[in-house]
Each structure stands twice: as structure tokens, then as C-alpha cells.
Amino acid sequence: MRRLVDPRADLEKDHLLWVTVLGVAEAKSNAQHEPAMTLEGLRCLGAELVLAEGALRISQGREMDAAEYKAVRTTWLMPYKGAIVDILAAAAKELPTQDKMM
């Protein structure tokens, strides 16, 4: 499998979060490369990551309307919900914290 990179590096606000998430997703994905490819596709559509209280969550971002995000979430994310939750949790642990930066 090719090395996953953030396909929307132009969305700088959460670029580093996506680099971490996609790296973890690539390492944890199954033989069919799911859910890594699902996350990469979601990012292509402009989805954003939000870091709050040490946890990562996916949001629709500015480029998708609520109906489109809901459809994508239902069709593409929900089948991999457990794996995606694990990926987000593992990625959050890899992010630098104030303690690690000092």
C-alpha cells in the first residue's frame, strides 16, 4: 500500500492531526486497507479533526453541508466505527502534549 499523506494539506488548521491519524490508520488497517482509505476519502471531502480534552473527533468541516456529511458518515464511517474510534484514540496518544514538548 502506498504511504498515506494528508490529501488536503491546504486545510492547514488540522493538517498535523490528519498526518497522525492517517499514519495510525495505515498501521492498523486490515488487508483491504479499510478504514484507512475511508478516512483518507473523508479528508478529501474536507472533513476536519477536532482535538478537545485529549480526544480526537471527526467533524464535517466547512466544505460539506450537514446532509452530505450525515450520508457519508452513515455509509462510510459507521461500518468501521469501532476501528475508527480505536484509530482516533491511538492517534490522540501520539500527539505531542505540553509535557512531551518540555
How many domains does one find in the chain?
Answer: 1
**Distance separating alpha carbons of residues 20 and 66, to the nearest angstrom:** 25
* pLDDT band of 4, cuts 50, 70, 90: confident
Host domain of residue 48: 12-96
Residue 30 in domain: yes
Residue 57 in domain: yes
Residue 4 in domain: no
Angle at 18 between CA 7 and CA 71, to 5 degrees: 75
CA distances, 75 to each of 2, 23, 27 (Å): 24, 23, 23
Over residues 27-79, the pLDDT tens digits come to 887 666 788 989 999 999 999 999 999 899 999 999 999 999 999 999 999 99
pTM listed for this prediction: 0.86
Residue 32 in domain: yes
